[in-house]
Structure 1
Amino acid sequence: MSPHVMLSYQWDDQALVKKVYDRLKEDGLPVWMDIEGGVSGNINDAMAAGVEEAAVICPFMTPAYQASRSCKKELNYADMRGVNIVPVMLAKNWEASEWLGLITAGLLWMDFRNAEKSDDHFEKCVKSLEDEIMFSVGNLLTVEAPSHGVDGRPAERPSLRKKPGRGFRHALTGLYLWESGEQKFHPVSDVRNSVELHESPGDNGYWEEIKGNNCKHYRNVITNGYLGFDPDGNYVYTKANPYGAEEWLLMVDESDQSPERAVVIKNRYSQRFLAVQNGKLAGLTSYTEDCKWFLE
């Protein structure tokens, strides 16, 4: 059997998760859900098989999910087997702790806290989830052509494709984080390339995400330069090899109420937020709206 997307949830949220299941299925993703033929015979054997054949598992996180013994067993088993995890947050004014907080620490969760606000909001939340699934494991999934839509949606939806990396679009200016290729010489780091803002991502606006030690590195997919920040000169650059100043923390912007994938990017070495001010990239010591980015 080919790998699938496994939806893990606590029964109180079954209606919403079933709605998500239907939309993912409609767009051609191979999806596993217990009430959709995923469980037959012994429930433990069936759930284990669901995890073992999963390319990615999406836990729909709530306090009830965290308190559930079966959900804990399921996600722990997935974590032990090294299954990719894309968390989905449903609860407002709450954050995962205990075993759930440990497993999902450092992971970028999908914001479904307002998913049922409107049909349009739900559609955009699902699109964000699909984008993250394809970013994480798109090369492992067999994606079928999207089926015909219902309820007024387009008869055909565009096929899902794995993008070469993450695109970062600034929330206020709409400009993309982009490597220009212009070289600068630094007395310590030798050659650095300039990073600027651009109206479209183009090839130079995609960044491969590489996991580090409790951080992430972002390597440009065209130049292979690692994104870094110099607090002394307050400028962003890329260089050939990562070190301390090329370590980043990517976090959900919890203040955002839109269905976009809003994030903040914090430089681990300098503890400054990547921002745009007066049309230029900068590092800020505290969060403002200038620090908000949308993932694409």
Structure 2
Amino acid sequence: MNQTTERHITEAVAMNTEKNGALEYWRSLDQLAETEEFQSFMEKEFPQHVEEVKANPVSRRKFLKLMGASIALAGATASACTRQPSEKIIPYVLPPEEIVPGKPLYYASAYVHDGVANGILVESHMGRPTKVEGNPEHPASLGSTDAFAQASILTMYDPDRSQSVIRRGRITTYDAYLNELNEALSNQVEKQGGGIRVLTGTVTSPTLHGQLQALLARYPGARWHQYDPVTLDNAREGSRLAFGEILSTRCDLKKADVILSLDGDFLSDGPGAVRYA
């Protein structure tokens, strides 16, 4: 676009914006300036709607109508290009008593973050979880959640989520996994588990901790390693220096008149953050 054309469009835009009935929304400066190039484009692409667009260029009803037609056309085009597999809808022969179509069910669960569990309620529709909220009867959440718990529902529908047991990049079965695991554990009996290594994140679950302790008791030579990309090691070390042992800090904010937090966002991170917030 040369300088003469730019000046012409600028002048036309200024004139059109000052007159009554000027466009409130436009696709380009060419449309606002009503250039010959834009008029030619409209006549070629939408010959049957040129006068209608000129008279009433933008309306909410028309916009929704055009969008609906575009989406329908896109769907028709896609369905015409791809043969969809045949599917059958089979109703329950004996429907579960607790499931009513259209009515959600709520399950009490826990979301673990940084080794700390927060009580949640999971909304489920026909066996599919759809929403996470805090459990008001859980002391760690008091009915609230954080951004991590809210976003955790997305992992259920992650397209990269594994749908089957994978061994060395190939799909196998769960039975094959159990057989191979039992064989490997049997070979470790004479070595007392000297070749067994267990890698986990921070574990605060009493049940999982008990299971790991039972495994270590059966295989004394096994080793359990815990690793987290972001840990609370500094906080634990600080409690050891201050109190002589590793402790988890629980703050009673009701007794504080002024709170000064230095490099510690206790309302967003760490144990009790949801309860404090």
Shared fold (TM-score greater than 0.5)? no
Q: Name the TM-score class by shorter chain.
A: under 0.3
Between Structure 1 and Structure 2, which shows a larger proportion of strand residues?
1
Provide the TM-score with structure 1 as the length reference: 0.21
Between Structure 1 and Structure 2, which shows a larger proportion of helix residues?
2
1 or 2 for the larger relative contact order (CA 8 Å, sep ≥6)? 1
